[in-house]
């Protein structure tokens, strides 16, 4: 209480840092701990690398969900990355996830692209980037990735599915058809992952017989389970074909 009173009456970086240490030691909860960090950041900035590191440790440990209040101040994490830490890749990845969670897709994309240059296993990062490109309609950027990382994308069926969706939305019918002519592997995955896109693709390509088989299968399954929600969904797919 004395330290909290001191911070209120005579705010100073050192007193706030001591209060943060005490809050963390006592585990007083997210609101008080992050509140003290954010007051320090907004009032004085955080120049002490140890204090920044303490914030990052919470960032890596606690939930990112925007339903948890308060949210993390991601500018503090950006400052930590300027120090070129050994755990930079893990922090960068978590930061990209946080920007995505906080609905800042452009910043998330920036960090995922940085990661793509340094990680060995690129498939998961490419998937995240393509999801953002689809959401933000950045089809030209996605096309560039298809060309640059063709070997990785062609070898991963989930990435091929995202490629089909980009081609569909960009109006590249020939390329879209070629992707689906792989013995049914990509087509089945597309149906499982995104049936709405699947049926629109089938309609665009004129593959009505294949789509009809899938629709009848879905309808029979929904009827046998008495699944009203699924029946409405199947009805919406039927409406695509008039």
116-173 pLDDT tens trace: 999 999 999 999 999 999 999 999 999 999 999 999 999 999 999 999 999 999 999 9
Report how far residue 124's alpha carbon sits from residue 135's, in angstroms, rounded to the nearest whole number.
17
| pTM confidence score | 0.90
Mean pLDDT of 160-189: 94
**Per-residue confidence (pLDDT) for residue 66, from 0 to 100:** 60
**Per-residue confidence (pLDDT) for residue 103, from 0 to 100:** 94
Mean pLDDT of 26-32: 95
Q: Is the pLDDT of residue 38 over 70?
A: yes
**Per-residue confidence (pLDDT) for residue 207, from 0 to 100:** 93
| Under 8 Å between Cβ of 3 and 15 | yes
Report how far residue 89's alpha carbon sits from residue 80's, in angstroms, rounded to the nearest whole number.
12
| Under 8 Å between Cβ of 123 and 156 | yes
Say what percent of the chain tops pLDDT 90: 95
Mean pLDDT of 41-66: 94
> How does residue 50 score in pLDDT terms, banded at 50, 70 and 90?
very high
Quick: pLDDT tens for 58-101.
999 999 976 768 999 999 999 999 999 999 999 999 999 999 99
Alpha carbons within 13 A on the beta-carbon side of 48 = 14
pLDDT, averaged across the chain: 95
């Amino acid at each position: 209480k004395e330290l909290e009173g001191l911070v209120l009456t005579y705010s100073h970086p050192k007193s706030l840092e001591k209060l943060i240490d005490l809050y963390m030691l006592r585990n007083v909860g997210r609101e008080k701990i992050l509140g003290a960090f954010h007051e320090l950041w907004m009032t004085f900035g955080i120049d002490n690398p140890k204090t920044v590191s303490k914030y990052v440790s919470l960032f890596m440990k606690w939930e990112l969900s925007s339903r948890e209040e308060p949210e993390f101040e991601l500018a503090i994490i950006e400052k930590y990355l300027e120090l070129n830490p050994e755990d930079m890749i893990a922090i960068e990845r978590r930061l990209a996830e946080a920007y995505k969670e906080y609905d800042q897709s452009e910043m998330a994309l920036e960090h995922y692209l940085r990661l793509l240059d340094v990680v060995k296993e690129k498939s998961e990062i490419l998937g995240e980037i393509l999801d953002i490109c689809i959401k933000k309609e950045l089809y030209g950027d996605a096309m560039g990735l298809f060309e640059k990382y063709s070997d990785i994308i062609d070898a991963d069926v989930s990435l091929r599915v995202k490629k089909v969706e980009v081609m569909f939305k960009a109006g590249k019918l020939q390329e879209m058809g070629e992707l689906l002519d792989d013995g049914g592997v990509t087509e089945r995955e597309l149906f499982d992952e995104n049936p709405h896109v699947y049926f629109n693709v089938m309609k665009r390509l004129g593959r009505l017989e294949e789509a009809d088989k899938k629709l009848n299968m879905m309808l029979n399954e929904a009827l046998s389970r008495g699944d009203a929600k699924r029946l409405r969904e199947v009805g919406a797919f039927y409406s695509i074909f008039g």
